[in-house]
Homo-oligomer: A and B are copies of this chain.
Amino acid sequence: MASDVERAIEAILMVADEPLPPDLLAQVLEVPTTRVVEVCQELATRYQVDDRGFVLVRVAGGYRYQSHPDLAPYVERFVLEGQTSRLSAAALETLAIVAYKQPVSRAQVSAIRGVNVDGVLRTLQHRGYVVEVGRDPGPGQAVLYGTTPLFLERLGLDSLVDLPALGQFVPGQEVVEALEQGLRSDDPPEAEAAHRGL
């Protein structure tokens, strides 16, 4: 029978999207860091013994799950074939907003597009076109996003200055703000956490 600490560590590592330092896990679970390290090692061994297709490794100072190196050929096929190889119109619009309005928060992008953009932003981050570039100094300290050198490279641009000028048909700042405001007032506090359930 697995212990509670063991199961809790599995659960937390499963939903984390970056390596978790053992002292963070220790803090959350209210156990000594040494215990966390011990349990993680036991789990890693257990997965190996059970011949699982994933491994628990310590990387960049933290623990995380990743696919077993043996199975890289399958994962590669999945990456190459199983993923759509084009950005959807929605994703392109999101990327365009980040490009032209950076640094910009998720809530701002969401307000402009009128839909939740969490999933799209995550995809763009995974693809290396968008990164976190800082935090809003205001209350809430929202994460701010910007584009990467890879993005410029793929578009054949030297720098952001070379993005095509928006021209005279762009609605003025006040129109954009009114629009953002309107969308926000429709659904204000939930917008950010909207994807988190009913």
Interface bits A20-37 vs B (CB < 8 Å: 1, else 0): 100011011100000000
- A5-46 residues with Cβ-Cβ distance < 8 A to B are 6-12, 14-18, 20, 24-25, 27-29
A114 to chain B, nearest CB (A): 7
Asked whether A134 is an interface residue with its Cβ less than 8 Å from the other chain, the reply is no
A11 with B67, Cβ < 8 A, contacts A52-B2, A193-B81 known: yes
Q: Which of A115-123, A159-167, A168-176 contacts B (4 or more CB under 8 A)?
A: A115-123
Residue contact B85 to A189, C-beta cutoff 8 Å: yes
Nearest chain B CB to A146's CB is how many angstroms away?
16
Known contacts A6-B53, A52-B7; A15/B78 CB under 8 A:
yes
Is the CB–CB distance between A67 and B27 below 8 Å? no
Interface size grouping (class) on chain A: 35 or more
Complex Cα–Cα for A6 and B50 (A): 12
6 residue pairs, one from A and one from B, having the closest CB atoms = A10-B53, A7-B53, A11-B67, A11-B71, A11-B53, A8-B74
Residues of A within 8 A of B (CB): 1-2, 6-12, 14-18, 20, 24-25, 27-29, 50-54, 65-68, 70-71, 74-75, 77-79, 81-87, 92, 114-116, 119, 122-123, 125-128, 150, 154-155, 183, 186-187, 189-191, 193-198
